[in-house]
Amino acid sequence: MVDILAENLSGKAVMSADGTELGDLYNITMDLKSGELTDLLVSPHEHLSPERSGFDIDEMGRLKVPVGNVQAVKDYIVVAR
């Protein structure tokens, strides 16, 4: 697996595997005890209804996409719903 620096991911577009653009990566959360990454926080695009995205939403209206849903990181971060 190729190492990717977090600074290179900031602001990267996030897309579902079906081609729906979800938004832009805001941040990544982690479990402080284990050091394991937990969720991608995604600022949703204006045309997307966060409630209908299939993901949990944080108190700021950002999508909480589990790290385990990430399928690819290239031009977009591709995630399974």
CATH of the domain at 71: 2.30.30.240
Count the neighbouring beta carbons within 10 Å of the beta carbon of residue 50: 19
Q: pTM of the full predicted structure?
A: 0.86
Taking the C-alpha atoms of residue 69 and residue 59, their distance in angstroms, rounded to an integer, is 21
Helix (H) or strand (E) holding 26, with range, is strand 21-30
Residue-range definition of the domain harbouring residue 24: 12-79
pLDDT given at position 5 = 58
Residue 3 counted as domain residue: no
Share of the chain above pLDDT 90, in %: 68
Count of domains in the chain? 1
Judge whether 39 lies within some domain. yes
Answer whether residue 2 is part of any domain.
Answer: no
Q: Is residue 63 included in any domain, yes or no?
A: yes
Mean pLDDT of 41-67: 92
Q: Is residue 49 part of a domain?
A: yes
Q: Is the CA virtual torsion 46, 49, 51, 54 positive or negative?
A: negative
pLDDT at 1 over 50: no
